[in-house]
Chains A and B, each alone.
Chain A
């Protein structure tokens, strides 16, 4: 029954040389008796934005947490930039993580630190020898990207939900990662800001040649940024294709998402 509509995006974009940056093979993950991922496979190619659709509780967040090594899958392999994250030691995992940005669904900003300290944290942690001047410059640049420079010395508790999301986004992007995993980047934002975030994601993709997995329920966002859309259903990759292909699918389960 699974309707795999399309495979690599190469065919679509015509760039045959595109190389895979994330390869997920036969992934299984369960919590107790709750089977979340069951034989899930997905390949993300360089400079590609892959959107993951799925119902609430389908396991989308679990999936990207496995990719960054926050959760250990029960079975299966995950190659990120050519390294198997399921089998790396802590130091090697940190090295891979410094090239991967992760935007948490609920922001996960450190509420005991100012915005500045929040942004400095990943910089100082991953790049131990970075100079103070460099840090300042990068923090300012990251905040300018999300138009929130004036919040530099504020505490997260003083900011609105949408501002927090943008700060979290700035923190995710500050290391100029090669791969970015976005967990619902536009949820809870007004339409104007949401479109700005879309544009930012696209701009980064162009400028730094990043590849992304984006979890989203916001169909405008999906339409704007997706090179490829997959549907996560019953722990598997149920459908895989371009936005248009999925939008015009006759499969009832796919249609639901585009209504």
Chain B
């Protein structure tokens, strides 16, 4: 189950995925739009992922706070706890963790769903039924993941911060209002905007990789399993690469 065995393979994969993604812009987002399918995908991809994102976000905020506290106490700056946690969650941990959870849940399900449709010729059947499968299946899913992940991240961030508030409260009583005032005073647009923009790219990556892997699934149950699995692995790696690139980029254009 080697994902990328050598450089040649890697380059070939990269080329094919780029072409697949290029096709999204040249053919996928053109009329007639599959609005109904898009909305149902937004529901499945966004709404249905919310409980998972919320739960992990809450725990992450809580644990992060509890872990940071002792260090801050030893420097005598525990009053800065809300500020530190707020920045860490909003700028980095919230977007990346949410995206990874999202890749695990949605990337694999898209890979498996399209993979099994591919090997059972359901995609061919759509094509002969006057439906462009690229628009109907790929474009709707990619648009849905691209739009839903930023929203999920913002919601996840909010829940994380609430978890952090509880974490702060475990050892010293703080009012909710005071906590959030402190958090928001320390946050600026240059913390929030780049973080939201990068989640757009994360969402796009999860959608396009899931669809690519599904569309290129090989026959048999094993083939479908491999598609789902490699969709998760590849999109998770891509999330980190995109994260690295966006940090460099926002530094370059001085948004820091």
Which residues of A pack against B, CB within 8 Å?
65, 68, 70, 90, 94, 97-98, 100, 102, 104-106, 108-112, 121-122, 125-126
Give the docked Cα–Cα distance between A70 and B113 (Å): 21
Contact A125/B125 with A106-B120, A108-B120 known, Cβ cut-off 8 Å: no
**Which A residues are CB-close (under 8 A) to B131?**
121, 125
Contact B132 A90 (CB under 8 A): yes
Chain A residues within an 8 Å CB radius of B127: 70
Which residues from B are CB-within-8-Å of A106?
A: 120-121
Across the interface, which residues of A come within 8 angstroms of B9, CB to CB?
Answer: none
- Chain A hits for B132, CB < 8 A: 90
In the complex, chain B residues whose CB is within 8 Å of the CB of A65: 124
Could you say which residues of chain A place their CB within 8 Å of the CB of B117? 110
Contact A122 B130 (CB under 8 A): yes
CB-nearest residue of chain B to A183: B121
Asked if A110 contacts B130 (CB within 8 A), the reply is no
Set of chain B residues within 8 Å of A104, measured between Cβ atoms: 121, 124-125
A125 near B130: Cβ-Cβ < 8 Å: yes
Besides A94-B130, A110-B122, 12 other A-B contacts (C-beta < 8 A): A68-B128, A70-B128, A90-B132, A97-B128, A100-B128, A102-B125, A104-B124, A104-B125, A109-B122, A110-B117, A121-B126, A121-B129
| A97 vs B130: C-alpha distance when bound (angstroms) | 7
21 contacts between A and B (CB under 8 A): A65-B124, A70-B124, A70-B128, A97-B129, A102-B125, A102-B128, A104-B125, A105-B121, A106-B120, A106-B121, A108-B122, A109-B122, A110-B122, A110-B125, A111-B122, A121-B126, A121-B131, A125-B129, A125-B130, A126-B129, A126-B130
CA gap between A90 and B30 in the complex, in Å: 13
Interface of B with A (CB < 8 Å)? 113, 116-117, 120-122, 124-132
Smallest distance from the beta carbon of A28 to chain B beta carbons, Å?
21
- CA of A122 to CA of B122, assembled, Å: 12
- How long is the Cα–Cα vector from A111 to B120 in the complex, in angstroms? 10
List of B residues within 8 angstroms of A112 by Cβ: 113
Chain A residues with CB below 8 A from B116, complex form: 111
Least CB distance from B112 to A in Å reads 12
- Closest Cβ–Cβ distance, residue A216 to chain B (whole Å): 18
Asked whether, in the complex, the Cβ of A108 is within 8 Å of the Cβ of B129, the reply is: no
Among B116, B127, B132, the most chain A Cβ lie within 10 Å of the Cβ of B127
For A98, list chain B residues within 8 Å (CB): 130
Closest to B121 in A: A108
> Whole-angstrom distance between the alpha carbons of A106 and B131 in the complex?
20
Q: Which residues of A lie under 8 Å from residue B124 when comparing CB positions?
A: 65, 70, 104, 108
Cβ of B126: which chain A residues have Cβ within 8 Å of it?
110, 121
**Residues of chain A with a CB closer than 8 A to B120's CB:** 106, 108, 111
